[in-house]
Amino acid sequence: MPVEMSLRERKKERTRRTIRVEAFRLFREQGYTETTVEQIAAAAEVSPSTFFRYFPTKEQLVLADDQDALMIEALAAQPRGQHPLTAFRKATEAVYSSMSAADLAFDQERHALLYHLPELRQAIGLEFQRSIELAAQLLADYTGRPADDFEVRVAAGAMIGTMLAIVTTTPVNAENVGHALQFLQAGLPFGPGGAPNGSDQV
């Protein structure tokens, strides 16, 4: 039975990935707005009802972040006793460093769509709030504090705000994400010429 369940889960993941890959191909070829759920389903060789089992809406197909589960696992693996931002930064760097070139390119394309398409701009607020809730829960689990703790919430908001600030102008990868979070943890020490000063000391 465990083997059977494993095979079933792998098949579901392949179907989900195929739907997203075909959707993004169509978005590139004919535009996000012009692409219908029916077209995506046909390209992925599934029915529209199957599409909706994986993604409630076309918008959700872009919003879904495949790194969430990886972040939960990576932060749980961090040794306790570190500053929470250090643990979060190392976990984030580990996740992005482990991604294949294809997965990293897909994630960057997803961010480009999400933050540059007017049709998806309204969804950014929802994604921002969802990300804060996830970050707060991750920090709460790591520190042993409740997720509604004032400092936990502030730290979660600061981290997600930092990510949002760079995602529209800077490639999202291990180096840039780590640099941004390191700069934040150092207290935003602006150096000459806009370069962070002393960020290697955190």
pLDDT digits (tens, 9 = 90+) for 66-95: 888 899 999 999 999 999 999 999 999 999
Domain ranges of the chain: 1-57, 65-201
pLDDT of residue 44: 97
Give the pLDDT band of residue 1 (cuts 50, 70, 90). very low
Mean pLDDT of the residues in the chain: 88
d(CA 152, CA 137): 9
Angle between helices 68-76 and 84-98 in degrees, nearest 10: 130
With vertex at residue 20, the alpha carbon angle to CA 34 and CA 45, rounded to the nearest 5 degrees, is: 85
d(CA 55, CA 14): 14
pLDDT at 2 over 60: no
Give the pLDDT band of residue 194 (cuts 50, 70, 90). low
pLDDT of residue 202: 39
The rounded percent of the chain whose pLDDT value lies above 90 is 66
Spatial contact of 40 and 26, defined as CB atoms under 8 Å apart: yes
d(CA 41, CA 32): 14
What's the topology of domain 65-201? Tetracycline Repressor; domain 2 (1.10.357)
d(CA 155, CA 85): 8
Two tokens at 4? 């059977």
SS3 string, the chain, reads CHHHHHHHHHHHHHHHHHHHHHHHHHHHHHCCCCCCHHHHHHHHCCCHHHHHHHCCCHHHHHHCCCCHHHHHHHHHCCCCCCCHHHHHHHHHHHHHHHCCHHHHHHHHHHHHHHHHCHHHHHHHHHHHHHHHHHHHHHHHHHHCCCCCCHHHHHHHHHHHHHHHHHHCCCCCCHHHHHHHHHHHHCCCCECHHHCECCHHHC
Chain centre to alpha carbon of residue 59 = 15
pTM given for the model:
0.76
d(CA 113, CA 127): 13
Dihedral angle, C-alpha 48, 54, 56, 57, nearest 10 °? -70
Where does 1-57 sit in CATH, by number? Answer: 1.10.10.60
pLDDT at 184 over 70: yes
Per-residue pLDDT tens digits for 121-158: 778 888 889 899 999 999 999 999 999 999 999 999 99
Per-residue pLDDT tens digits for 93-108: 999 999 999 999 998 8
pLDDT at 3 over 50: no
Instruction: Name which residue leads in pLDDT, 188 or 195.
Output: 188
Give the pLDDT band of residue 5 (cuts 50, 70, 90). low
d(CA 70, CA 85): 17
The predicted model gives 47-69 an average pLDDT of 93
pLDDT of residue 193: 62
